[in-house]
Amino acid sequence: MDYTLREMMTLVAAREIRNEDIVFCGTGISMLAAMAAKNIHAPKCVMFFETGAIDAKLEEIPLAVADSRVMYHTSANGGLLDAFATMQNRITGDLVIGILGAAQIDKFGNLNSTVIGDYFSPTTRFSGSGGGCDVASFVSRSIIFMQHEKRKFVQKLDYMTSPGHLDGPDGRAKAGLSAGGPQLVITNMAMMRFDEDTKEMYLDGCYPGISPATVLEHMQFTVDISRAREIPPPAAHELKILREKCDPQRLIL
Amino acid sequence: MDYTLREMMTLVAAREIRNEDIVFCGTGISMLAAMAAKNIHAPKCVMFFETGAIDAKLEEIPLAVADSRVMYHTSANGGLLDAFATMQNRITGDLVIGILGAAQIDKFGNLNSTVIGDYFSPTTRFSGSGGGCDVASFVSRSIIFMQHEKRKFVQKLDYMTSPGHLDGPDGRAKAGLSAGGPQLVITNMAMMRFDEDTKEMYLDGCYPGISPATVLEHMQFTVDISRAREIPPPAAHELKILREKCDPQRLIL
Amino acid sequence: MKLANDKVTSLKKAVTSFVRNGCHLSIGGFTINRNPMAAVYEIIRQNITGLHLYVHSNGQGVDELIGAGCVAKIEIAYGGSGKFAATCIRFKKAVQEGTIQVEDYSNYQMTLRFLAGAMGVPFLPTRSSLGTDIIAKWGFPAAMRCAEEKLPDQKLIVMDNPFNGWSGADKVVLVPAITPDVTFIHVQKADRRGNCRMQGLTFADVEQAKAARHLVVTCEELVDDDALRKNSEQNQIPFIHVDAVVHIPYGAYPTACYNHYDYDPVYLKAYAIAAKNDRLFKAYLDSHILTLADQQGLLDLVGSERIERIKADPRTGYAADLDRR
Amino acid sequence: MKLANDKVTSLKKAVTSFVRNGCHLSIGGFTINRNPMAAVYEIIRQNITGLHLYVHSNGQGVDELIGAGCVAKIEIAYGGSGKFAATCIRFKKAVQEGTIQVEDYSNYQMTLRFLAGAMGVPFLPTRSSLGTDIIAKWGFPAAMRCAEEKLPDQKLIVMDNPFNGWSGADKVVLVPAITPDVTFIHVQKADRRGNCRMQGLTFADVEQAKAARHLVVTCEELVDDDALRKNSEQNQIPFIHVDAVVHIPYGAYPTACYNHYDYDPVYLKAYAIAAKNDRLFKAYLDSHILTLADQQGLLDLVGSERIERIKADPRTGYAADLDRR
């Protein structure tokens, strides 16, 4: 069955979401991944936006986390203070899995979504942290979406917007952050996890037809590929639900 | 026209409230003073409770600041966070006049509403600060209601619950409090103000038939009586409004 | 637990599950309004002791818990029941007799402490209480604080404003976060998953609720699953904070519940009289709590005529013209 | 002013009264929802320059203010308009060309900074951003901060937790309070005295509103004086914070206003195209803002058919089935 890489990425992420998760969603495929999980295997998982919307009934795809579509049929319509407190508070925060994206990532899962070039005279300016830095600081588990390109998997970030494992195993603890950090990087080629001991990224699996060597060619730094497996392609029922129930208008896919 | 001292106290306080004031009210005669002001000469003044109720329509007398009667027909029903932030915030806080009471007061207008005796094994325990300390810390103007008794106007408080002028002219600034502090003490005998330079209490006026000497007999410390005048008794229209409109059931009076 | 679809349970079970001897407890409400009284009575019936209680301006609920001997330590801003007891009577007695230990804060400080807990930060700053004995005198001595893992080492900390006088402040008081083991609140409406909607003033219930490890909600009305999803900006507490939901009409009685019923002046006056005398108070505990099965038992004892009298007028939300003298 | 009974005025007058060249301004809303766009357009028409802007995740409003040359400095967490512009286009351009100075915070930090202003404290703590460049890199250099009285000397401060690890935190980040000279927000309902009721998400509007020295509220519906006094727990902002009320239906257009209308995808897409090109953008400013008298002028230009299309469906609060591709 034909599928796009964007569909693959969405479904790979969806598979990581459990029934017991509160899913912090951004715009785009991150919310689509949560919608897919909810419709496929985790009906009880709770979608949650930094704008303060909890457990919205998404009859249509929101085009921003402040889209009025996230306000419909929610458990509560609060504000930013409520949303971030829910993540910073360990009682509820430990239930949250964050989904993030960025312009650059390093081997410890630190993210840049602020600038390319010098911070004080950037060649490219991006939107900035938004809630990204907050989520990355607070939640114990997160999934990162990336395009697999050499300029994006970098030796050194031009600006560290959101903390991953910082400089390694003790990075978060030394800085004063709570335990946890990124778990998973999902790209248009592969899926990476972080080694339990070194907190460095390693290749967990490649998409069908993509070799570990190809993956490495698209990164500035090398990662362990010894644990790589082939990731199963989307199943027909997954694709059907994603296409027909989650994004029938193809607004994101 | 006959009147009780409680009526006199209430109306003396009411006269101090202006149309431009947000009045922080406690229970009892403090809210009655605000109601009287609103009905007599300051229809625009806003009554405000620490529970978060703003500008309630008090069709009946509340018996506590959390009485459901303060929740009816308000501008907003918030919570304690809203109420105290409104006072701590200088933009709105400078509009607020607080009305407080206590078990003990000293010459600088500091208040005790916590214990008589040693804090760690008190002979008498009172309710504690409630919002009293907060209001006294935040607002720039406050009125204090007291019974004029020797055991209440003391040389030294058994416990300082709420800050007045602390130890004198620079007391609040040294401690880190904002400017302001108590303006007025209204008792069952007299009205006291605080000297602009020394921040010590002085006798501003006595109720009809009460001499400055009598007032001094009811205090542990001496105050300047040279500025004392006779305070005009309640006018007939003031009493009529107080009795008929504010507390017809005589719940407080 | 927090994400379960149906959290409805009995009060008996909720108390048994979440309230242990010596646990750190918080109850919502303010003086004589929306105290979770049914829960308080069940805690008393289950003979829980050694509680560490956190409240701001609580009255009736605190006084009954203390009077029944459930409380060892309390952190509080105000113990009073309005006109019915300017200072809560059993609270006063217990402090004077040294049978409970008290730590005093102001109302705003207690509220900020709950907010800090809810936010997941160790403290919040305020300018309240600078120069006072709330700062100088610690009801819980430093040694006890250091020994007890569930207490912060300091009651509070006065700190110079590190932003060089920014906002006109030279100093601030930092007050430490509270994370109760369990909070009980009583709300007007909840659904089976635990979404809550309060009417009238919320006091500090939202912060007390979100700060707690476990949250038990008692409600006047248990509503259909979709009922609270319309106009959900009115839901102050989403289900993700909630562990148990108990449907108890008149669950705040004898305190008030806006839009449902008023406080019962007859009850509160009789309570104040009983509370002043140990023998009478023991009789009160027996007749009004210990020998009853539940809140319905109390309502039956009080009788429908008195309950009828305090029913809220739909226009004002309280019982207009109630005899409260 | 804050206690006046009738604060209704024209937008022109509100902007003239409260917005000066170089003043510190904040606008409510989030990306493409409930931005106070009518106010933004009036600020542009009045040719205000040198603004110091405070926002969290603002999109359309920020981008148009920057594009029109009103802004000199901005403190911000996120400049984006959802799918229509992942990064706001004129914002991006202005930063890259160095025509505005930026200070970056996270969304929570900006919200806490507004909350600190609203609370009247110099700072609030969070655990966000420890170890990142948000802490290490200051967009506004220390010298500039010290020179400008209206800026705190430090961007933020990392501090050891003075409560010895309480709440599991070893360190916290303190972020300084913001007190804008004026905040503009757009709400669904307001009365003449300024009581406000928002529907759907409130974002950080409440904090932005209460932090400001002056607050201008634009509203979809101007309601009778008593209308908001029922169920007033739904009023997020009481009148005591408000300086001016302006009645402007479609005051958030082309961004959305829950229960009233959706964002206009046609407008936002056309804007994104124009914004990418200086000549087209100048033409856009002329045709859509500068040559028009007011928001009604914009609605007339856009035409009733498009306005009809974005009208909110009463069940969901947005325009169901709107073509948003």
* C108:B134 CB<8 A: yes
- Which residues, other chains included, contact D163 with Cβ-Cβ below 8 Å and sequence gap of 6+? C122, C123, C152, C153, C154, C157, C174, C176
Measured at the CA of B220, the angle between CA B216 and CA B225, to 5 degrees, comes to 30
- What is the predicted pLDDT for the residue at B28? 86
* A44:C239 CB<8 A: no
Q: What residues of D are in contact with residue B138 (Cβ under 8 Å)?
A: 120
Mean pLDDT across C208-221 = 98
Contact: chain D with chain C (3+ CB pairs below 8 Å): yes
- Which residues, other chains included, contact B140 with Cβ-Cβ below 8 Å and sequence gap of 6+? B93, B94, B96, B178, B179, B180, B181
CB B144 within 8 A of CB B95: no
* A73:C229 CB<8 A: yes
Strand-pairing partners, residue D157, are D174
Q: What residues of D are in contact with residue B89 (Cβ under 8 Å)?
A: 117-120, 210-211
Mean pLDDT across C163-167 = 96
Q: What residues of B are in contact with residue C102 (Cβ under 8 Å)?
A: 125
DSSP C7-34: -B--HHHHHHHH--TT-EEEE--BBTBS
Mean pLDDT across C214-237 = 96
Sign (positive or negative) of CA dihedral C108, C109, C110, C111: positive
ipTM of this complex prediction, to 2 decimal places: 0.98
Look at residues B248, D301, B192, D139 and name the one whose alpha carbon lies nearest to residue C325.
Answer: B248
Look at residues C38, C4, C10 and name the one whose alpha carbon lies nearest to residue C297.
Answer: C38
Q: What residues of C are in contact with residue D116 (Cβ under 8 Å)?
A: 167
Write out the two tokens for A87: 């993540």
* D235:B46 CB<8 A: no
Secondary structure in 3-state letters for A108-124: CCCEECCEEEECCEEEE
Determine what percent of chain B is predicted with pLDDT higher than 70: 100
Across chain C, mean pLDDT equals 97
Q: pLDDT tens digit string along C256-310? A: 999 999 999 999 999 999 999 999 999 999 999 999 999 999 999 999 999 999 9
* A133:D128 CB<8 A: yes
Give domain limits for chain C.
11-123+179-309
Does any CB of chain C come closer than 8 Å to the CB of residue B121? yes
- Which residues, other chains included, contact A243 with Cβ-Cβ below 8 Å and sequence gap of 6+? A7, A253
Q: Where are the alpha helices (DSSP H) in chain D?
A: 11-18, 37-45, 60-67, 89-97, 107-119, 133-136, 142-147, 205-211, 265-275, 278-285, 295-302, 304-309
- Which residues, other chains included, contact D157 with Cβ-Cβ below 8 Å and sequence gap of 6+? C162, C163, D123, D173, D174
CB C158 within 8 A of CB C173: yes
- What is the predicted pLDDT for the residue at B98? 96
Specify the pTM.
Answer: 0.98
Sign (positive or negative) of CA dihedral B194, B200, B205, B206: positive
Look at residues B128, B125, B139 and name the one whose alpha carbon lies nearest to residue B177.
Answer: B139
B230 annotated active-site: no
| Cα–Cα distance, B109 to B182 (Å, whole number) | 6
Does any CB of chain D come closer than 8 Å to the CB of residue A152? no
Q: Are strands D78-79 and D57-58 parallel, antiparallel or unpaired?
A: parallel
Spell out the domains of chain A, with CATH numbers in brackets: 5-246 (3.40.1080.10)
SS3 B19: coil
- What is the predicted pLDDT for the residue at C1? 76
The residues on C that touch A, with CB distances below 8 Å, are 2-3, 5, 117-121, 179, 193, 195, 210, 212-213, 226, 228-230, 232-233, 235-241
Q: What residues of A are in contact with residue C210 (Cβ under 8 Å)?
A: 85, 89, 92
- What is the predicted pLDDT for the residue at A127? 96
CATH class for the domain made up of C11-123+179-309? alpha beta
- What is the predicted pLDDT for the residue at A1? 72
| pLDDT digits (tens), chain A, 253 positions | 799 999 999 999 999 999 999 999 988 899 999 999 999 999 999 999 999 999 999 999 999 999 999 999 999 999 999 999 999 999 999 999 999 999 999 999 999 999 999 999 999 999 999 999 999 999 999 999 999 999 999 999 999 999 999 999 999 999 999 889 999 999 999 999 999 999 999 999 999 999 999 999 999 999 999 999 999 999 999 999 999 999 998 888 8
User: How far lies C302's CA from each of B113, C62, C254, D90, in Å?
Assistant: 35, 21, 10, 70
* D169:C198 CB<8 A: no
CB C19 within 8 A of CB C40: no
Secondary structure in 3-state letters for C69-104: CCEEEEEECEECCHHHCCCCHHHHHHHHCCCCEEEE
Q: What residues of D are in contact with residue B93 (Cβ under 8 Å)?
A: 120
| Cα–Cα distance, C150 to D325 (Å, whole number) | 55
* C179:A73 CB<8 A: no
Binding-face residues of B in 205-224 toward C, CB within 8 A: none
Q: Which of B17, B24, B48, B55 to probe by mutation at the D interface, max D CB count within 10 Å?
A: B55
* Beta-carbon pairs below 8 A across chains C and D: 104
CB C124 within 8 A of CB C116: yes
Strand-pairing partners, residue B97, are B23, B141
Cβ neighbours around B248 below 10 Å, total: 12
Q: Which chains touch D (3 or more CB pairs under 8 A)?
A: A, B, C
Q: pLDDT tens digit string along D218-260? A: 999 999 989 999 999 999 999 999 999 999 999 999 999 999 9
Sign (positive or negative) of CA dihedral C35, C39, C40, C41: positive
- What is the predicted pLDDT for the residue at D238? 97
- What is the predicted pLDDT for the residue at A244? 94
Q: Which chains touch A (3 or more CB pairs under 8 A)?
A: C, D
Does any CB of chain D come closer than 8 Å to the CB of residue A140? no
Strand-pairing partners, residue A99, are A143
Q: pLDDT tens digit string along A63-119? A: 999 999 999 999 999 999 999 999 999 999 999 999 999 999 999 999 999 999 999
Regions in chain B scoring below 50 on pLDDT: none
Regions in chain D scoring below 70 on pLDDT: none
Q: pLDDT tens digit string along C61-104? A: 999 999 999 999 999 999 999 999 999 999 999 999 999 999 99
C30 — phi, psi (to 5°)?
Answer: -150, 125
SS3 content of chain D, % helix, strand, coil (to 5): 35, 20, 40
SS3 B121: strand
Q: Which are the catalytic amino acids of A? A: 50
- Which residues, other chains included, contact C296 with Cβ-Cβ below 8 Å and sequence gap of 6+? none
